[in-house]
Structure 1
């Protein structure tokens, strides 16, 4: 009997040593797998957000309602960006880095210049196109500073020397003397569309010698007048909302923003199409913000606030949004709840 028990003990010990050897053989890879899982970067968000500024985030220079508190929910406790978002506005007149600094101070978070897209931001891509041409930059704010930061040679537009810098009402513009004798390639307008009527009127009256007080039809009449100066008339192109191009450009910027937030999630070579399942456009203007998101199509979804242009009780009948809320704080609550983000 003792011999039988001894044989059982020896067999048990042999099994224990074999099992221990098996565990030790697999343990390093198991530990590495657990370490790799714990050390891996968090999954990148499947959605992004674009906010209009005036009437949504700010009224003048004051944040609307609980906007700062709401925006902080898009950041981690350490202050790093957690949810990719940007500001998409037709306004501007100042460089993007200056607007980013202003927003950072007003909202109490760190806003990167990459997160600010003005209506004139696409002009940066036109520098080479008009490198040797005469152009006029006109608008509200500081067009000279904006255009020079984009790379335009203000002071020497094309090969012509700008001999006059004037103030026209609240707009600044660069012109060249004897403008009528030069071939004008482009007039780049800076600022909200509401200002373009007075900007164009001012340009025509002050620099093309028209009689003051004449009834002008904004850009259309400028194009007609320009045919008297150039062989080829100017063609009007809008680079602001609701142009679908603006939303496609914003989606690309959000993608690059995500790659900087999560550099290990995928390489830039792998980004071919929009990787977001949804991009939310939060705005107050149905004709501009909501209409633009509708024209852009997937993956854009629209959220309409009642803090600016739109004040209706129900949805806008002409350009209905996917959701209607009172404030941007409600919009962020709606988005995070829909995306199951705490």
Structure 2
């Protein structure tokens, strides 16, 4: 079993410098050993509508030097692109490290499995292959390619190969 590191540990001291935000006797000075994790979908925004007060809450946490991050079950983009999208919608600048996507844990998994063959599932072969490479996987097979290679495992017609697999060629028999 692979032990996955908690991404939140990286944020526990992120607002501990008084230089970054200034300080006064009225400010809260201590770095925290806790933080907030917000679900984006349904908590900070519903559909295309941002929940009133979402950006103000994040600004308040920043002033208090309380770390926070946003999680979303959305995928299909890298963290940098998604953080820009969410920042634009919320009207609040987020760092890419403050946004965790459904596939972000692959970054940590790749440390252990980067040279082992893994099956990669995702919205499209091109997007999935790009994300797998960005996380550091060198050997992977996409669902469409696996399906084409082993059509007997599916009751329907085998798809054409995507050709977007990682590693050496597309043959994994």
TM-score (norm 1): 0.33
- What residue number does 2:66 align with? 83
Instruction: Give secondary structure in 2 for the equivalent of 1:50.
Output: strand
C-alpha distance in 2 between matches for 1:138 and 1:96 = 18
Shift in CA distance, 123/46, structure 1 to aligned 2, threshold 3 Å: closer
Instruction: Give secondary structure in 2 for the equivalent of 1:71.
Output: helix
Runs (5+) with no aligned partner, structure 2 = 1-24, 157-172
Q: Once the 2 structures are TM-superposed, how far is the Cα of residue 102 of structure 1 from its aligned partner?
A: 1.1
* Paired residues of 1:131 and 1:152 also in contact (CA < 8 A): yes
C-alpha distance in 1 between matches for 2:85 and 2:134 = 18
Q: 2:47 aligns with which of 27, 51, 60?
A: 60
* Paired residues of 1:137 and 1:174 also in contact (CA < 8 A): no
Higher strand share: 1
C-alpha distance in 2 between matches for 1:62 and 1:121 = 25
C-alpha distance in 2 between matches for 1:96 and 1:148 = 14
* Paired residues of 1:75 and 1:82 also in contact (CA < 8 A): yes
TM-score (norm 2): 0.59
Q: Deviations over 1:174-223 (max 9, x none)?
A: 5258634xxxxxxxxxxxxxxxxxxxxxxxxxx555224xxxxxxxxxxx
- What's the C-alpha RMSD, in Å, of the aligned pairs? 3.4
Runs (5+) with no aligned partner, structure 1 = 1-37, 166-172, 181-206, 213-229, 231-342
Q: Once the 2 structures are TM-superposed, how far is the Cα of residue 47 of structure 1 from its aligned partner?
A: 3.3
- What residue number does 1:72 align with? 59
Q: Once the 2 structures are TM-superposed, how far is the Cα of residue 150 of structure 1 from its aligned partner?
A: 0.3
Structure of higher RCO (CA pairs closer than 8 Å, 6+ residues apart)? 1
Larger-Rg structure: 1
- What residue number does 2:154 align with? 210
- What residue number does 1:50 align with? 37
Q: Once the 2 structures are TM-superposed, how far is the Cα of residue 131 of structure 1 from its aligned partner?
A: 3.5
The answer to whether structure 1 residue 144 and structure 2 residue 129 are counterparts is yes
